[in-house]
Structure 1
Amino acid sequence: MAPQLVLIPSPGIGHLVGMIELAKLLIHRYHHLSVVLLAIKSRSTTSKSHDYINSISAAGQHSTRLSIIQLPNNDDPSDPNPTYVSFVESKKPQVKEAVSRLISTDHHLAGFVLDMFCTSMIDIADEHSLPSYIFYPSSAANLAFTFHIQAKFDYQGLDLTKSTESELSVPFFANPLPRKVVPPAVMNEEWLSIILDHGRNFRRARGILVNTIREMESHSLESLTEMEIPKVYPVGPILNLDGGGGLDSSTAEIVRWLDGQPDSSVVFLCFGSLGTFGADQVREIAIALEKSGERFLWSLRKGAPEGVRAHPTDYDDVGEVLPEGFLDRTATVGKVIGWAPQAAVLAHKATGGFVSHCGWNSTMESVWFGVPMAAWPMYAEQQFTAFELVEEVGMAVEIKLDYVMGSSGVVAAGEIEGGIRRLMEKGSEMRRKVKELSDESKELSGGIAEFVREVIGDDSSL
């Protein structure tokens, strides 16, 4: 019987999509390997997640070797607001039962691949003497930082929440790491405790699959080989390039507009699924775009009212937050939109630069399509990633590396304009670098082959 891998993503749509794309890559490359994915549901699981799972399950080309088991939702009503860690822990009985059923029906399980937030499931793999691997959807540098601070805390008593150093010397970067770009969670005692636990749990795995390419993060990957940690496999880029949907009317309209622009002439501004700006910052961006003279496509979205937890939405009328007359004055060179089909825009030959929040999936898309970036991070580890892209990799210019959405001041139009001009400079070393990385990202990942040889024993028959 063909070997089968058990993949367990955490319930967030971003983590779910990444794990399914990994599964599709594995079964596409290794025709005798199959995958069963155990999908964890919760009260907060969105209809988008359900629709995505159903669309994959219904796809005929994957149905025989990629099966998805949706675990029942049995959230504890007595704990209406569980932590992410406790929520995943509460799902272990369901996962254990599903795995036992697979084994009892003669499935040849070869190992587990677990989302970075599902490390408690290692216990179930251990019970069946199966190897566990972690899928890490962020950068190798971020993984190295997790191990670095965990080792410093556990073995040297270094607590970054109590440190006052302006720069940190870290082995995975050639340059000192400014404190201002350290992920904010590392400076919070509660979150630091969770991050440290991640580092400890990662060490229990047989190996770690990282969504990166060796040529982009060679220094960080080399530093990981010198740590006493499980083997690291660079398996990227893992991408969902169709955006989960087809060419709908709004996407078609955007693509038609891009079709009318010269090659590599458009700067694309998009800040992820959560990135938004206040009215003052929107005006500064508009002024910068107009003064730069560059063609632009701007994904501008409205944040939820203060105190309300909700995703951004499209404006009913973007003119209400833009300078008077801006849309008329820029009508021949620019287009302001709401939600953006990011992959389709980055893939278009007219797109010449990407002003980005530096989320890792967006970064991987930029690499794949060969589009240089201007770094404007918003939240989470994005300031850290922005520093890496600008100072270490050389595939981005800076807008504001230490910007934090909701707590930083307004970035002036002149600063934004300067970043846009540097981004769109023709024939720059940055453009050459990104083109080189794009070509290298198209090569089959040696990390995938190494992983399959390790977990199966030999990939020659697959």
Structure 2
Amino acid sequence: MEDAIELVFVPGPAVGHLVPAVETAKLLLQTNPHLSITFLLNKMPFAPQARVNSIIDSLIADVDPADKRLKFKLLLQDLVLDLQNPGFPDGKSIRDQWISTLLSEARDCVNELIIQNARRRLAGFVVDIFFTDVMDVADEFGVPTYVLYVAGAATLGLHLHFQSLKDHHHGTLDEFIKEDYLNVPTYINPFPVNLLPTFVLNTTDGILDYAKQFRRAKGIIANTFFDLEPYALQSLSKDKTIPPVYPVGPVLNLNVRTPQQSHDQIFQWLDDQPPSSVVFLCFGSTGTFPEPQVKEIAYALERSGQRFLWALRKQPSPGSSSVVLTEYTNLEEILPEGFLEKTKSIGKIIGWTPQSAVLAHPAVGGFVSHCGWNSILESCWFGVPIGTWPMSAEQPENAFQLVREIGMAVEIKMDYRTDLRDAKMNNIPIVPEIVSANEIEIGITNLMDHSIAKSIRIKAKEVKEKSRKALEEGGSCFNAIESFIENVMNNLN
């Protein structure tokens, strides 16, 4: 009889990290009946996010007591951090104290699991990219660690490439980022330096050092699929300093809960629109714009004459530590005068919306997106071409990949970002330039004009078909999962 084994998942407390982790675990459980998985969850103690906290609460509340193969345990319930006094007597930062407490509780929880499940062998840890510290706990238990990388293979390659450059050049990357373009192994085309993600631009906070820990892992699970990134995945497989990469995607959560009444109105409106006629604008769970930029988007939509569905939410108040976005109670306070009246026959403005359900609707023909990886995979799944407008982190890099490498997107902006900071001005955020209504209008027209965008629509349809084949029996997703499980079994002590 095959060994009953247990994996311990330690996901990141953010929607874009937690949801793929849970869905990946479900795929693994479907493949191997002898596998059990325990999640060690934690809520972010600083900059709390209402939505991810709600997801965590739901996961714990909805667990089936009879299901012994998938369990959720909440750590750090009693952790209180003084955000007004980020320094601690022992010199630890807020994150240091958070991680130290997390490791201690994770260690205790796994000890308890081993005692309770004597017939099940601990096979390893699967950790989020920002929780590689947990590798030390895995070492204490004598089991391997696997990294769950929730972005794409090209991004993984860039991350590892720059970590290697930093190590070989004594911690500095200045000579590289002065160039206009760089050759990165996981990209076919030269990569523009101005689109480098923030973890490369910031070499002082140790973010690149996470990648060094990736190399300690026995394997890396990536939320992508072979036919989306064949060049990048082949490049990674040739580098023997990188652990095996398992492309188990597209990992998606398409089980949207029953819409609220306001959501019913969204779909009623979409039902009345012609097929592929609506451009959907949505910028992720934290994407917002200042009033001048909102007005430029509105002018562009009005001038373009395109039917639109726009997810518009309010920025947190200045000085607020909250990252929770709210909806406008009066849209006229932010939009140009007369905009709502002029566009009432072709457009609809909404707050939060079930993005995947909207992308699945036949009326939606284009998606103006912040280019978060989960949003990209949803667009791939439904075959919706993208207009790129990245906001932060690796999103400019994703935008480049969509436009130049994959070919299923048009550029609205590629180098827009809200997370850059000026080191010469006490780390003050750099306010991005306003994208003009003219630029936005041209991008939306190029996205929605079927004669102009013929090639990207053909490509989006091809990617849709390939994404679904990846999840079929014998597809790249299931092949990757079988290889991963084989790796886990081969590394059992």
Q: CA deviation at 1:157?
A: 4.1
Change (3 A) 1:76 1:320: closer
Rate the CA distance shift 1:67–1:214 in 2: closer, same or farther, 3 A. same
Q: Shift in Å at residue 403 of structure 1?
A: 1.0
Quick one: which of 270, 283, 303 aligns to 2:282? Answer: 270
Pairs within 5 Å for 1:238-387: 238-243=251-256, 245-310=257-322, 311-387=324-400
Report the counterpart of residue 8 of structure 1 in structure 2: 10
* Aligned counterpart, 2:485: 452
Cα deviation digits, residues 3-29 of structure 1 (max 9, x gap): 221111123343222211211222233
The answer to whether 1:151 aligns with 2:173 is no
SS in 2 for 1:349: coil
- In structure 2, C-alpha distance between the alignment counterparts of 1:17 and 1:62, rounded to whole Å: 22
Residue 91 (structure 1) aligned with residue 102 (structure 2): yes
| Deviation by residue 1:256-298 (Cα, 9 ceiling, x = unmatched) | 1111111111000011112112222222211211221211001
Q: Which amino acid aligns with 1:318?
A: L
Assess if the C-alpha contact under 8 Å between 1:161 and 1:186 holds in 2: no
Which SS does the other structure have where 1:113 is aligned? strand
Contact map agreement 1:85 1:117 (CA 8 A) in 2: no
Note the C-alpha offset of 1:104: 2.0
Q: Which amino acid aligns with 1:332?
A: S
Letter in 1 for 2:487: E
Work out whether residues 76 and 101 of structure 2, in 8 Å CA contact, stay in contact via their aligned partners in 1.
no
More displaced stretch, 444-453 vs 390-399: 444-453
Q: Distance in 2 between matches of 1:52 and 1:299?
A: 21
**Residue matched to 2:463:** 437
In the superposition, the TM-score normalised over structure 1's length comes to 0.92
Whole-angstrom distance in 2 between the partners of 1:259 and 1:178: 41
Q: C-alpha deviations, 1:137-163, integer Å up to 9, x for none?
A: 111111111110111121244722454
8 Å CA contact 2:309–2:347 kept in 1: the answer is yes
Matched residue of 1:91: which SS? helix
Aligned to 1:181: 195
> Does the 8 Å CA contact 1:10/1:88 hold for their aligned counterparts?
no
Shift of 1:252: 1.2
Q: CA RMSD in A?
A: 2.2
CA change 1:216–1:85 in 2 (3 A) is farther
Distance 1:266 1:61 in 2: 44
Q: Match for 2:144 among 127, 131, 150? A: 131
Q: Identical aligned pairs, as a percentage? A: 44
SS state of the match for residue 410, structure 1? coil
TM-score by length of 2: 0.87
1:69 aligned residue (65, 69, 73): 73
Aligned length: 455
Secondary structure of the corresponding residue to residue 134 of structure 1:
strand
C-alpha contact 2:198 2:394 (8 A) present in aligned 1: yes
Unpaired segments ≥5 residues, structure 2 = 87-92, 419-429, 472-476
1:142 is the counterpart of 2:155: yes
In 1: Cα distance, 2:100 partner to 2:159 partner: 21
For the 8 Å contact 1:43–1:73, the answer to whether it is kept is: no
In structure 2, the residue matched to 1:56 is: 59
Which deviates the most, 253-262 or 279-288? 279-288
In the alignment, does 2:231 pair up with 1:215? no
69 and 27 in structure 1: CA distance in 2 versus 1, 3 angstrom threshold: same
Q: Please, which runs of 5 or more residues in structure 1 have no aligned partner?
A: none
Q: Secondary structure at the match of 2:133?
A: helix
In structure 1, C-alpha distance between the alignment counterparts of 2:361 and 2:489, rounded to whole Å: 39
Which residue type is aligned with residue 421 of structure 1?
T
SS at match of 1:125: helix
Cα displacement string for residues 95-145 of structure 1 (whole angstroms, at most 9, x for unaligned residues): 111111222231322221111111111122222222210000111111111
Q: Secondary structure at the match of 1:159?
A: coil
Match for 1:23: what amino acid? A
> Is 1:395 the counterpart of 2:408 in the alignment?
yes
- Aligned counterpart, 1:18: 20
Tell me whether 424-433 or 227-236 shows the greater mean CA deviation: 424-433
After superposition, give the CA deviation of every residue in 1:281-324 in whole Å (9 maximum; x if it has no partner).
Answer: 22221121122121100111121233333332211111222222
Secondary structure of the 2:204 match is helix
CA distance in structure 2 between the aligned counterparts of 1:119 and 1:65, rounded to whole angstroms: 24
* CA displacement, residues 372-418 of structure 1 (integer Å, 9 cap, x when unaligned): 10000111111111111111111110001111236221111121111
1:146/1:86 CA distance change after superposition, 3 Å: farther
